[in-house]
Structure 1
Amino acid sequence: MALLFFFYLYVVFSRGRDDHHSRVVIKTARKQGLSDIQLKKLPKIVGKDLSLDINDCAICLDVIGNEEFARLVPGCKHGFHLECVDLWLSKQPFCPVCRHKLEPELFNQDENNLC
C-alpha cells in the first residue's frame, strides 16, 4: 500500500513538472546589436578630445583618461571608453545614456558615399 502511495505521488508531481516545462516559452537568441563592421565605422577619439567637461564613462563609471581611446555615439555625441561602448552596442543599438537609436541608415550612407 505504501508503495502504491509513493507511486501515486511520483506520477502526480512528475506530471506537474512536465506541464510547467511545456508551458515555458523559450526565447530565441537574436542578435540585435551592431556588427563589428558597423562598430569600426563609429568615431574613435582619445579622452582629451572629448568636448564635454564630464570625462566619466557612464557604463563602467570610471574616468576616461586623456590618452585612453574613447568612442562617440553619433547623433547624441555621448562619449564612453572604447571597449565599454563597443560591448554595449554589440548587444543593443542604443546610447546607454539617452537611448538614442543608431539606425542602419547611418551605416548605409557611408557605403553609398564610397561610389
Structure 2
Amino acid sequence: MLFAVFLALFLPCVGMSVVFVVYMCFFCHAATTTRQQQSSNNHQEPMKGINEKGLSSAQLDKLPKVPGQELVLGNDCAVCLDVIDKEQVARIVPGCNHGFHIECADTWLSKHPVCPICRSKLETELFDGTTESNPC
C-alpha cells in the first residue's frame, strides 16, 4: 500500500518534469534560431539609407545660412530638439526650407544626405555649380 501511494505521487511529478524539460529545450532552440536569423539578416541586407554617404564639408559650406529670426517654418531644431534663437545662425535645407542649428545640420548631413524632418534628398545639382539655383 505504501508503494502504491509513492507511485501515485511520484509518477505524475516525473511526467510533468519531463514535459517541462522538453518544453524548455524547444523554447531555447526557437530563441537561438530567431537570434541567428535576425543576426544574419542584419549582415546580409543593410537597412535602407544606411549605405548612403553624407555630404562633404565643401558641400555643407554651399548650403544657405540665415539668422534664426528669418526661419519661416518654425524655430525648433529637429536634430537636438532645442529652440533656435533669433540671433543664432541657422542652416537651411534647400528645397524644403527646414532650418536647424548649423552644428546639428552639419553633423546630420555629413552622415545622411537627406533632410532630418521630411527626408527629402539633397540633389547633387546643388553642389556641382552647373545649374542655376533659380532657373526661372
TM-score interval for Structure 1 and Structure 2 normalised by the shorter chain: 0.5 to 0.7
Could you say what secondary structure the match of 2:90 adopts?
strand
Q: Does 1:106 align with 2:132?
A: no
In structure 2, the partner of 1:88 is: 108
In 2, the alpha carbon distance for the partners of 1:36 and 1:93 equals 12
Kept in 1, the 8 Å contact 2:77–2:101? The answer is yes
Runs of 4+ deviating beyond 4 Å:
23-27
Greater fraction helix:
2
User: Of the candidates 79, 92, 95, which is equivalent to residue 72 of structure 1?
Assistant: 92
Structure 2 unmatched ranges of 5 or more: 1-35
> Given that residues 56 and 110 in structure 2 are in contact (C-alpha distance below 8 angstroms), is that contact kept between their aligned partners in structure 1?
yes
> How many Å apart are 1:111 and its aligned residue?
5.4
Matches within 5 A, 1:35-74: 35-52=56-73, 54-74=74-94
Letter of the 1:68 counterpart: Q
TM, length-normalised to structure 2: 0.57
Q: TM-score, normalised by structure 1?
A: 0.67
Q: Does 1:34 align with 2:55?
A: yes
Residues 94 and 31 of structure 1: is their aligned pair in 2 closer, same or farther, counting only changes over 3 Å?
closer
Give the counterpart letter for 1:38 in structure 2: Q
How far did 1:97 drift?
0.4
1:88-115 deviation per Cα after TM superposition (whole angstroms, max 9, x unaligned): 000010000000000112211x2566xx
The aligned length equals 89
Q: How far apart, CA to CA, are the structure 2 residues paired with 1:61 and 1:112?
A: 34
Alignment match, 1:8: none
Higher RCO (Cα < 8 Å, 6 or more apart): 1
Show CA shifts across 1:7-53 (max 9, x none). Answer: xxxxxxxxxxxxx9xx97498xx67000000000000111011123x
Query: Rg: which structure is higher?
Result: 2
| CA root-mean-square deviation | 2.3
